[in-house]
Structure 1
Amino acid sequence: MNSKIKKFFSLSIPLLLGLGIIYYQYTTLTAQELQNIKSIFKKADYFYIYLSLFIALFGFWSRAYRWKYALNHLGYQTHFKNDLMTVCVSYLVNLTIPRSGEISRAALLKKYEDVPFDKAFGTIVAERIVDLIVFFLFVILGFALQFNKLYNFIFSKISLQNIVILLVVGVVLFILFILIWIYAEWNIIQKLKRKLSGLVEGMMSILKMKDKWKYIFHSFLIWFSYLLMFYVTIFALPETKNIGFDVVVMGFIFGSLAIGFTNGGLGAYPLSIAKILMLYGISNDVGTAFGWLIWTSQTLLTICVGLISYILLPLLNKK
């Protein structure tokens, strides 16, 4: 019963959060803004939306190709078509329960390529760590490009005294965490240490693999494709086509973060895009329409390629 309850909450909470955000966004828009959003959808240049979807497919391909290097390092020669289709299915599953696609991806590879689940899942965990590092580099780039604007914004909202207090509290908490991590014998700390050691081992395996530079190249290529597919969509609307690359990077960063809060970014992604663009003079209705254009098109693509891959996997692997 506990597992069923846990599964229910893991599915319902992100979904309810996403629906709540949609309701909030809808109720805060005026009738004129809603009408403007409809007209924006009609006048959008969908060539750039389709171009964005094509780039997204290239990102799927690159992710599957990168995975093959890790699997080869472990001694498993898998068929690329199965690697690609399991990746596509994992994106689809992530729309139901966030991050559940990683489990389905390893399970499908076990079924169709006979790669042990723990081995496949270990390579996926290592991927996530690498992805986090690359994304963090994008965050550094975005904040470096927008340092002056963010600096002025923060100091206009928060007093210097409060910033100092927050920094002091942060340093104290960090030191406390380090002391607990080193000296505490709590079960939860020991479990976290074991998991961390597994993650470190996964990262070290990447550095030892024969094709590590190709693996790293594809890691950057994947995130570059994510950024590029976001960038080309700004040309779909006349109101956004002239925004600077620095603004694009910030929108991409906060949009990526929003995806993890709800099922595939339901509600959260368009809202975050609208709020970020408002900081740079883009009206709320345009930012909202822009966010929904990107999210809807990418979600439909994910559903289509995921379902097609799920159907093709057993058909192309008949023995």
Structure 2
Amino acid sequence: MNKKLINILKKTLPLLIGVFLIWYSYQNTTPQERTSIFNAVQNANYFWVFISLLLGFLSHLSRAFRWNLLLEPLGYQPKITNNIMAIFVGYLANLGVPRSGEVLRASSLTTYEKVPFQKSFGTIIAERVIDVIMLLLVVLITAILQTEIIANYFAEKNINYLKLIVIASVLIVGGLVFLLLIKKAKSGFLLKVKNFVFELLEGVLSIFKMKKKWLFLFYTLCIWILYIAMFWVIKFSIPETASLPVNAILASFVAGAFAMSATNGGIGLYPIAVSKILLIYGISKASGDAFGWIMWTAQTIMVVFFGALSFLLLPIYNRNK
């Protein structure tokens, strides 16, 4: 398989999977369920959807401020306006081609703020590592809150705890062996992996060298609290989901977060993942699907609107540079 075909598959496969999942979801609902989903979406309280969008925008604004804290030690302090527009342009690009947004976001600062691409892109990688750590922290908190539900699920599925422990142990040992191998690597593919891993670690550790590390932590917490809050308020838009407890919101949030990374912007998969989790908490499929579709559609519309607007305004705002 040549490189050109591989690149085409990388760009189109996640989108095709998303489209397939939309078709699959449609095919696996009865006409009555489709009517119920449509009615739930149509009759939703869109005041709470607006509040969710506002919280989402504030999370992106917090990200723009946090980005400057990573750039400042490198000798750069772009305008917040350029930061937020570059972020939205990057999100928009990711809807079409996965991971292209990070490149476009970095190149935007290179073009309009004269920040070297390598340095700008390095800060974005550091951001991603921190965000992965935060997501894993949310997953851990969610797992602790769901202990009883997880135990019941394992019991229903006859899942052996010992097997899980053995698998986890094998993965940990395998990870340690892999780290030892790349640490000793001096050439070839493993050397490239080694350099990549250590660059990531360097990016993360550089955060502790910042003068404003506590402000960085504050913005990071703001971003993730706002992420969960914008998910939380959507529950009030549908009567059946209004009384969902925090552990149900966190579980569906985690499912949605992983769905977002699996297909372009979570297309097709996001509503399915959220709905499957809400079923565990006694929410009907119609209301669960409606919740997922409202959440995904609202955030996607915001990204498309502000992303397209930012793409147009960036050269106009910086016309004197």
Same fold (TM over 0.5): yes
Structure 1 runs of 4+ with >6 Å offset? none
Amino acid of the residue matched to residue 118 of structure 1? Q
Amino acid of the residue matched to residue 308 of structure 2? L
Kept in 2, the 8 Å contact 1:65–1:80? The answer is yes
Deviates more, 1:175-184 or 1:213-222: 175-184
List per-residue Cα deviations over 1:122-155 (Å, max 9, x = no partner).
0000001111111111111111111111111112
CA distance in 2 between partners of 1:177 and 1:301 (Å): 39
Change (3 A) 1:180 1:234: closer
2:188 maps to 187
Q: Confirm whether residue 91 of structure 1 aligns to residue 83 of structure 2.
A: no
Post-superposition shift, 1:209?
0.9
Q: Confirm whether residue 282 of structure 1 aligns to residue 283 of structure 2.
A: yes
1:70 maps to 70
Post-superposition shift, 1:200?
1.1
Post-superposition shift, 1:180?
4.2
Post-superposition shift, 1:171?
1.9
Change (3 A) 1:279 1:260: same
How many equivalent residue pairs?
A: 317
2:200 maps to 199
**How do 1:121-270 residues align onto structure 2 when only pairs under 5 Å count?**
121-160=121-160, 163-183=161-181, 185=185, 187-270=188-271
Amino acid of the residue matched to residue 258 of structure 1? A
Amino acid of the residue matched to residue 20 of structure 2? G
Change (3 A) 1:85 1:183: closer
Change (3 A) 1:155 1:107: same
1:107 maps to 107
CA distance in 1 between partners of 2:290 and 2:203 (Å): 41
CA distance in 2 between partners of 1:148 and 1:177 (Å): 29
| TM-score (norm: length of structure 1) | 0.95
Amino acid of the residue matched to residue 23 of structure 1? W
List per-residue Cα deviations over 1:263-314 (Å, max 9, x = no partner).
1000110000110000111111111111001111110010000011111100
CA RMSD of aligned residues (A): 1.6
Amino acid of the residue matched to residue 106 of structure 1? A
**Helix, strand or coil for the counterpart of 2:283?**
coil
Post-superposition shift, 1:3?
5.0
Amino acid of the residue matched to residue 224 of structure 1? I
List per-residue Cα deviations over 1:175-213 (Å, max 9, x = no partner).
244234324757333221111110111112111011111
**Helix, strand or coil for the counterpart of 1:98?**
coil
Change (3 A) 1:272 1:87: same
Unaligned runs of 5+ in 2: none
Amino acid of the residue matched to residue 112 of structure 1? Y
Deviates more, 1:60-69 or 1:134-143: 134-143
List per-residue Cα deviations over 1:20-77 (Å, max 9, x = no partner).
1111111110110001111111211000001101111101100000001111111112
Unaligned runs of 5+ in 1: none
CA distance in 2 between partners of 1:172 and 1:205 (Å): 31
1:309 maps to 310
User: In percent, how many aligned pairs have the same letter?
Assistant: 39
Amino acid of the residue matched to residue 171 of structure 1? S
Amino acid of the residue matched to residue 147 of structure 2? F
Kept in 2, the 8 Å contact 1:45–1:237? The answer is yes
CA distance in 2 between partners of 1:7 and 1:179 (Å): 30
Change (3 A) 1:88 1:173: closer
Post-superposition shift, 1:100?
1.7
Amino acid of the residue matched to residue 34 of structure 1? R
Kept in 2, the 8 Å contact 1:181–1:189? The answer is no
Deviates more, 1:133-142 or 1:298-307: 133-142
